[in-house]
Amino acid sequence: MRCAVLADIHSNLEALTAVFRDIEVKGGADEVWCLGDIVGYGPEPAECIKLLRKFNPVCVAGNHDLGTVGKMELSFFNPAAAQACIWSAEKLGPEDLQYLEELPQTVQKGDFLLAHGSPASPLLEYVASNSIAEKNFSYFDKPYCLVGHTHVPQAYKQEDDKVASISLSSGIGLVLKKSRLIINPGAVGQPRDGDPRASYAIYDSEGSIFRVYRVEYGIRATQDKMMQAGLPVSLVTRLEVGR
Ligand code: ZN
SS3 114: strand
Ligand 1 centre from 186 Cα, in Å?
10
Reported as half-sphere exposure (CB side, CA atoms, 13 A), residue 212 has a value of 25
- Which one, of 205, 217, 215, 212, lies nearest residue 171 by Cα? 212
pLDDT at site 161:
82
Ligand 1 centre from 121 Cα, in Å?
15
- Confidence band for 123, pLDDT divided at 50, 70 and 90: very high
Each residue's pLDDT tens digit, 33-63: 999 999 999 999 999 999 999 999 999 999 9
Ligand 1 centre from 6 Cα, in Å?
11
Quickly count: other Cβ atoms within 10 Å of residue 202's Cβ: 21
Ligand 1 centre from 191 Cα, in Å?
9
Ligand 1 centre from 234 Cα, in Å?
15
Ligand 1 centre from 28 Cα, in Å?
25
The pocket of ion ligand 1, defined by CB under 5 A, consists of 8, 37
Rounded Cα distance, 192 and 113, in Å:
23
- 165 within 8 A of 156, measured Cβ to Cβ: yes
pLDDT at site 160:
85
Rounded Cα distance, 187 and 9, in Å:
6
Q: Are strands 112-115 and 144-146 parallel, antiparallel or unpaired?
A: parallel
Each residue's pLDDT tens digit, 5-39: 999 999 999 999 999 999 999 999 999 999 999 99
- 214 within 8 A of 198, measured Cβ to Cβ: yes
CATH match of 2-241 with 3.30.420.40: no
pTM score, whole prediction: 0.97
pLDDT at site 29:
98
Ligand 1 centre from 38 Cα, in Å?
8
Ligand 1 centre from 61 Cα, in Å?
11
Ligand 1 centre from 50 Cα, in Å?
19
- Domains in the chain: boundaries: 2-241
Ligand 1 centre from 160 Cα, in Å?
31
Ligand 1 centre from 36 Cα, in Å?
8
